[in-house]
Amino acid sequence: MKVLCFCLLFKIIICCSASAQVRKITGLVSFNNERQSGVNIKDISIHTQAISNDIGEFTITAKTGDTLIARKEEFVKDTALVDDALYFVINLKKNPIMLKEVIVNAGALSPAKKLEDSKKDYHEIYRVGDKSNIIGPDNVDKIWSALSREGNNARNLQHTFNTDYQNSIIDHRFTKNLVMGITGYKAKRLDDFMIKYRPTYEMVKDANDYELGEYIKKEFCLAKKSGI
């Protein structure tokens, strides 16, 4: 009897241990079908964290039952519960106060104008982050920029500005109305298609309207085959 109880207890311990196993999970952060880079994702249980990359994807160490918190400036903090899913999608919401300020102050700025304004408002980061032409006797500042944390942070912010600009160009052309008109998709199917088959900046930059339409048609055929 004691042996049987011990075996049952051992099995319970093994099952509990397996269910709480730490693993690598991947996911995507988006807002209104726009992939969000630079989002900080933190597991508040085991204190791991990650930052979403240029296409909004992230990988973080977590276990089932943990809570993930996603944070990005101008957005409402969001949470997600880790379950047995293999892929997580976190949909951010705009902070209502920040959204109102953007509408009032920004107007209908073009992506190029937004990038230009960012460079003017944060001109110091382009000086601090400059490590071009580093070889030379009088380039102490540029050597410092290349090696210092401040210089690295400045270059990261420059990269964020450029990424936001490229995403704005994509959003300006790869619109819901365009995709819906070609595919006939609506609601969640439309959202899923636009996230999964979002074109690259290089493709959108070089393609004319006809080529972009042909790209959507080709991806639409792939989507139907995969069941989207």
Query: What does the pLDDT look like over 156-181, one tens digit per residue?
Result: 767 777 888 888 889 989 999 999 99
Mean pLDDT for the stretch of residues 80-105 = 71
pLDDT at 20 over 80: no
Q: Of 194, 115, 205, 97, which is closest to residue 158 (Cα–Cα)? A: 115
Mean pLDDT for the stretch of residues 58-83 = 89
Quick: pLDDT tens for 101-128: 444 444 445 777 776 776 676 666 555 5
* Between 16 and 75, residue with greater pLDDT: 75
Q: pTM for this one?
A: 0.43
Mean pLDDT for the stretch of residues 45-69 = 90
Predicted confidence at residue 101, as pLDDT, reads 44
- Whole-number percent of the chain with pLDDT over 70: 66
With contact defined as beta carbons under 8 Å apart, do 117 and 109 qualify?
yes
Predicted confidence at residue 211, as pLDDT, reads 93
Domains plus CATH for the chain?
10-94 (2.60.40.4130), 109-173 (no CATH), 174-228 (no CATH)
With contact defined as beta carbons under 8 Å apart, do 111 and 168 qualify?
yes
pLDDT at 219 over 90: yes
* Between 132 and 154, residue with greater pLDDT: 154
Predicted confidence at residue 145, as pLDDT, reads 52
Mean pLDDT for the stretch of residues 206-218 = 92
With contact defined as beta carbons under 8 Å apart, do 43 and 66 qualify?
yes
* Between 96 and 17, residue with greater pLDDT: 96
- pLDDT bucket at 79, cuts 50 / 70 / 90: confident
CA distance 141 to 143: 5
CA distance 174 to 199: 8
Interacting residues of 126 by C-beta distance below 8 A, sequence separation 6+ = 119, 154, 158
| Window from 54-63, 87-96, 114-123, 133-142 with minimum mean pLDDT | 133-142
pLDDT at 42 over 60: yes
Predicted confidence at residue 197, as pLDDT, reads 93
Q: What's the alpha-carbon Rg for the chain, to the nearest Å? A: 23
With contact defined as beta carbons under 8 Å apart, do 94 and 74 qualify?
yes
